[in-house]
Structure 1
Amino acid sequence: MKKLNLLIVLLSVAVSATAQNKFEQDRNAIKALAGFYKVSFNYAETFSPISDYTFHDRHRSSAKEIAIIVEDAPNKIVIQHLLVMRGDSMIIKHWREDWTYEDPKILAFDKEDTWKVLTLKPEDTKGKWTQKVFQVDDSPRYQSIGSWVHVDGRSQWISYADSPLPRREHTERSDYNVLNRRNFVYLTPTGWMFEQDNKKMVRTPGEKDKLIAQEKGLEEFVKIDPKSFSYAQDWWKNNASFWKDARDIWDNVLTSNATIKLAAKVDNKLLYQKLFAANEQSVKEKWSSAKNKEEITKIINAYLIKV
């Protein structure tokens, strides 16, 4: 009996060590997404069930981007992306990704700038990471949950989510209102790849979602020399506190509402335009954190629609 008990203890320790090692592998893979990159964006529609559908032109573009870890806690890693343009002289705050471990709640996109909080079962979150993707103004975009897999020297993560139209089509398309995404993130010898299998859907209340077209997407992040990002790093140092305050306000909004619905425009301006303007004013006038949060709250509340 003593030998059996000892064997059980040893097996328990081995399982615990393996789980801990897997957890650290996951964290290291996520943190490896940060860095200095040349990014290429390639999208092509591949199929439509509609016989007379006109396939849209392929989208191809590239950019320089820096991805900065702005929060590194055991169960949460936050990475902020910045676009670097005109050499290194123009910076645009880009998307943000929060990675949370065994998160019991997820914000699911419905349609027309509306998201709903869903509570997940413990068995559906065990050992898994949620990627929460946010817009340039830190408003929600989409969230999805999946497992990191590390095998044969390769680390990869797959998930599924609904999202709003991509930025490249948001102002050009009105024939669909939901992008159903299969997200495939994996590390490469030169950086990482964000591969997508997307379905462009029409969602109408009380009806089954209708497929308009399928699309393949490849976003390749290739590491490049950090020396050309000095201005971007200085820019972030000067602007980081404002966006930390913005994240705090958004966190309060997202945890206080079961449904989030945003107005497309207020005073004929998009949300990011008002927040970007407030950011510039904050840096210029050296606002305090309290002043930042007061102004950010005022702006965000103007776009929130009660549901």
Structure 2
Amino acid sequence: MAALADGYVFSYGFGEIGAPTPRGGTTRGAPVEPATDPGPRYRAVQAEGLSSRERDRRAILALAGEFKTTFEFVETATLIPDLPRDDRPYRSWATEYVFVLEDLPELIRLQHVLVMRFVDDDGDISDPMVTKHWRQDWHWQPDHRWRYRGDGKWTRQAVTTDRGIWKQAVYQVGDAPRYEALGQWHHRDGMSTWHSESFDRPLPRREHSVRDDYGILAGRHQITLTPTGWLHAQENRKLRLDEDGNRQAIATETGLNRYQRIEGFDMTPGRELWDRQSAFWAAVRTEWHRLQQQHEVLEVRREVDGQSRFARLFGLAEEIADADDETVARRVREAIRPYVTPAD
């Protein structure tokens, strides 16, 4: 019963009753008011007479909004003899503002910004903690994608398709590549879901901070709209590479991220942060685009001289927020350059 009281269903089912204490977020958030009425963006997806592409676009735009988000992952099996299963489920949460950064016929950019208020042991609510979060770009019928090869290496790969494909390109908090996946939206039985292909990516922070026995997370994703939010489901494989580049799956993982739209939550600090830093992050996006246009292979490092890439950029974002465009572009290029090596 302890496992149920903790809200966990994905216990292993064998051995002692109960589940290990989850790892991940241990803080409590301020109370939120879940939305109960479908918003206009969700209703727009349900409209009659739309082309498949237009319905897809509206489904992507429906991912924007103000959300309470929960992140849950569990390692479901090990595939190597004598390798213990990581039996501590991962759980975390956030309140975030997701807005449409760019809306073009063949490209939609969505930017996530965290606005989190914490409750302490006395029940007091903190001032908001505000920070830029991840970004997702949706490309219609892309002509290329960047594939992760392990050890921080990315390779540009041509794409040829006419099957109504959308590429979801996901970027880390500092706008470095995180993964790019091809997939299709399906609108059936009143439900809209994007199904991805299988793709590889670097270890997310929840894993690379605690694991060093594998180097690639491979899997398939599904994104499903609900009347008051969306679900992001993952089925992943943890892969180890040997010296010859041979792949060995060592474990499987299931994940589910829930985005519940909320009402009456003050996201003003997130909007203010973006207003102040938007020119800086536009320069960061431009620099990454330049690198990816000029090279076929890139090696991207997390840290240089003990300083993480995202920490350096986050500090710079505040330092030069009011600088002129030329200065911002130069300082951004200087900041990113040590972390990226063209390998072609």
> Scaled by the length of structure 1, what TM-score is found?
0.89
Alpha carbons of structure 1 residues 266 and 37: separation in structure 2 relative to 1, 3 Å: same
Moved more, 297-306 or 64-73: 297-306
Which structure shows the higher helix fraction? 1
Partner of 2:334: 298
CA contact (8 A) 1:36 1:226 kept: no
Answer yes or no: is 1:208 the counterpart of 2:238: no
Extract unaligned runs of 5+ from structure 2: 1-47, 119-126
Answer yes or no: is 1:133 the counterpart of 2:170: yes
* Cα RMSD, aligned residues only: 1.6
Partner of 2:76: 46
The alpha carbon displacement at 1:265 in A equals 1.8
2:117, 2:192 → 1: CA distance? Answer: 33
Among 303, 323, 326, the alignment partner of 1:265 is 303
The alpha carbon displacement at 1:19 in A equals 11
Alpha carbons of structure 1 residues 20 and 191: separation in structure 2 relative to 1, 3 Å: closer
Partner of 1:27: 57
CA contact (8 A) 2:101 2:109 kept: yes
Answer yes or no: is 1:289 the counterpart of 2:325: yes
Alpha carbons of structure 1 residues 38 and 216: separation in structure 2 relative to 1, 3 Å: same
| Residue type at the aligned position of 1:22 | S
1:294, 1:281 → 2: CA distance? Answer: 14
SS at 2:304 equivalent: coil
Partner of 2:105: 74
SS at 2:282 equivalent: helix
Q: Sequence identity of aligned pairs in percent? A: 34
Partner of 2:66: 36
Alpha carbons of structure 1 residues 80 and 158: separation in structure 2 relative to 1, 3 Å: same
Partner of 1:250: 288
> For 1:145-173, what per-residue CA distance to the aligned partner results, in whole angstroms no more than 9, with x for missing partners?
01111111111111121000011011211
1:205, 1:259 → 2: CA distance? Answer: 19
CA contact (8 A) 1:162 1:180 kept: yes
Among 147, 161, 176, the alignment partner of 1:108 is 147
Partner of 1:121: 160
SS at 1:176 equivalent: coil
Partner of 1:9: none
1:211, 1:54 → 2: CA distance? Answer: 14
The alpha carbon displacement at 1:60 in A equals 1.0
Answer yes or no: is 1:150 the counterpart of 2:191: no
> Scaled by the length of structure 2, what TM-score is found?
0.80
The alpha carbon displacement at 1:205 in A equals 4.6
Answer yes or no: is 1:196 the counterpart of 2:234: yes
> For 1:40-74, what per-residue CA distance to the aligned partner results, in whole angstroms no more than 9, with x for missing partners?
11100111122322222100111111111111110
State how 1:272-283 maps to structure 2 within 5 Å.
272-283=310-321
